[in-house]
A = this chain, B = another copy of it.
Amino acid sequence: MATERLVVIGGDAAGMSAASQARRLKGPDELEIVAFERGHFSSYSACGIPYWVGGDVPERDDLIARTPAEHRERGIGLRTRTEATEIDVAGQRVRSRDLESGTDAWTGFDKLVIATGARPVRPALPGMDAPGVHGVQTLDDGQELLDTLARTSGRRAVIVGAGYIGVEMAEAFIKRGYEVTVLNRGEQPMATLDPDMGRLVHRAMDDMGITTVRGAAVTKILTGGDGRVSAVATESGSYPADVVVLGIGVEPETTLAGAAGLPLGVHGGLLTDLAMRVRGHGNIWAGGDCVEVLDLVSGRERHIALGTHANKHGQIIGSNVGGGYATFPGVVGTAVSKVCDLEIARTGLREKDARAVGLQYVTTTIESTNSAGYYPGATMMTVKMLAERRSGRLLGVQIVGGEGAAKRVDIAAVALTAGMTVEQMTALDLGYAPPFSPVWDPILVAARKAVTAVRGAG
């Protein structure tokens, strides 16, 4: 009989990485592991859903790294379609409901991992729950959307929101031959970029035949005689729709944690220490899309729902639960995406992030080819760089461009982590050969121009 029981709430990236890593370090005789997942699936790539919907990824199961059965074979007691409904911190127990039978039960824990993820923002507007209106947060969501598409002959998709999910879903529907309208509350798509960079995305989406409507605040989902969605109404007009996808963003799913009195931050995410322990709680960990993370550039907490962080968190939690030692120092805010052939990347602070924390900065924007200009297939990219006034410390980089643009942001991500100045960056020894880079890599070109801007700003 195991001496300790670990309970994990949430069967995707963070939860199952934590469980798997803990299991690697402690066998079933030392540690019993029970995990609750309200959906049907475990350990899947939510980030891959747009590519499944768009047809790049043929099968749902391609997105699943490890099935519930595989987890169970590895000694993890994963119960799917079982929703945790209450955390009793003092009593060290979790109540759960079997969604098939409707029965409730309490499970005691010695250690608890909260990995409840995020939920899509669903504004409380009339018609929001009408058939044909979909989120794409979970694999179940993706399956429901595809089921809807299979049943629906109309070919008009309206996407609400123009962030990562919005633009990736726009690509997915373009690939399926839909007429795509993206309703954007703001002025430019990709609010994770500065507006001048978002404008480049807007233009490129126009060229792809994606209609992006600016300043489009949704007021209502209209339904037809069959009760299904028929249009999306905004303050400035109404957009016919056979299917609607919500890509407004996500928020931490911390209802249970909040009700249990665990500490939540300003963004609604759980607050943890560097070892991913919930602050003030020695035997409760949290990770993935339900926590806030430290932004190493601004020094502020942020909420970032991203699979790569969730996997790191899970790994770290599992190590600590299993008696090892690991920490998560924080993020610099790197994110990459694409819409058709346009690559989009960012790391560090936008102008408004810098202002919000009192940093003065200079910005520079350059255009460059991804490979030597004479090399066939060279594509253009625009690189914007922010550097702190006086010190010249790198604050952020945004890139929009063709093939090879997005992952160049990693150079800046490492430089941010290391606290480099743009002057130091001009000397970086980056890979050069004509198929891969101009003789001055775009990041070096931007850094050189940023050095001049820092000097000029005094």
Q: Please give the residue numbers on chain A whose beta carbons come within 8 Å of chain B beta carbons, in ascending order.
A: 13, 45, 47-48, 51, 56-57, 62-63, 164, 306-309, 311-312, 328-329, 331-338, 343, 345, 347, 372, 374-376, 404, 406-411, 413-415, 417-418, 420, 424, 426-437, 439-441
Contacts and interface: CB of A to CB of B under 8 A. Distances in A.
A434 B332 contact: no
Contact of A374 (B13, B45, B410, B432): B45
Contact of A432 (B47, B420, B436): B47
Contacts of A375: 48, 51, 56-57
Contacts of A328: 427
A328 B311 CA distance: 39
What are the nearest 9 A-B pairs in CB distance?
A418-B418, A336-B431, A308-B432, A414-B414, A62-B374, A334-B429, A331-B429, A332-B429, A48-B434
A51 B435 contact: yes
A283 B221 CA distance: 75
B347 A429 contact: yes
Contacts of A45: 372, 374, 434, 439
Given A337-B433, A413-B431, A414-B414, 8 more contacts: A47-B372, A47-B433, A307-B439, A308-B432, A312-B427, A407-B437, A410-B431, A415-B418
Contacts of A417: 418, 420, 424, 427-429
Nearest to A437: B407
Nearest to A399: B431
A429 B295 CA distance: 11
14 contacts: A48-B372, A48-B375, A51-B375, A51-B434, A51-B435, A56-B376, A57-B375, A334-B429, A338-B436, A347-B429, A404-B407, A411-B414, A415-B418, A417-B429
A110 B115 CA distance: 70
Contacts of A435: 51, 338
A431 B335 contact: yes
B431 A409 contact: yes
Most chain-B CB neighbours within 10 Å: which of A336, A428, A440?
A428
Contacts of A51: 374-375, 434-435
A413 B432 contact: no
Contacts of A13: 439
A410 to B, nearest CB: 5
A9 B307 CA distance: 54
Contacts of A415: 414, 418
Nearest to A59: B374
A194 to B, nearest CB: 18
A57 B418 contact: no
A204 to B, nearest CB: 16
A336 B432 CA distance: 6
A432 B407 CA distance: 9
A117 to B, nearest CB: 15
B409 A374 contact: no
Contact of A411 (B308, B331, B336, B411): B411
A325 to B, nearest CB: 11
Contacts of A56: 375-376
B427 A48 contact: no
A56 B57 CA distance: 32
A441 B307 CA distance: 12
B57 A432 contact: no
Contacts of A414: 411, 414-415, 418, 420, 428
B410 A430 contact: yes
A437 B414 CA distance: 16
Contacts of A407: 404, 407-408, 431, 436-437
Most buried by B among A312, A374, A420: A374
Contacts of A436: 336, 338, 343, 406-407
A70 B167 CA distance: 44
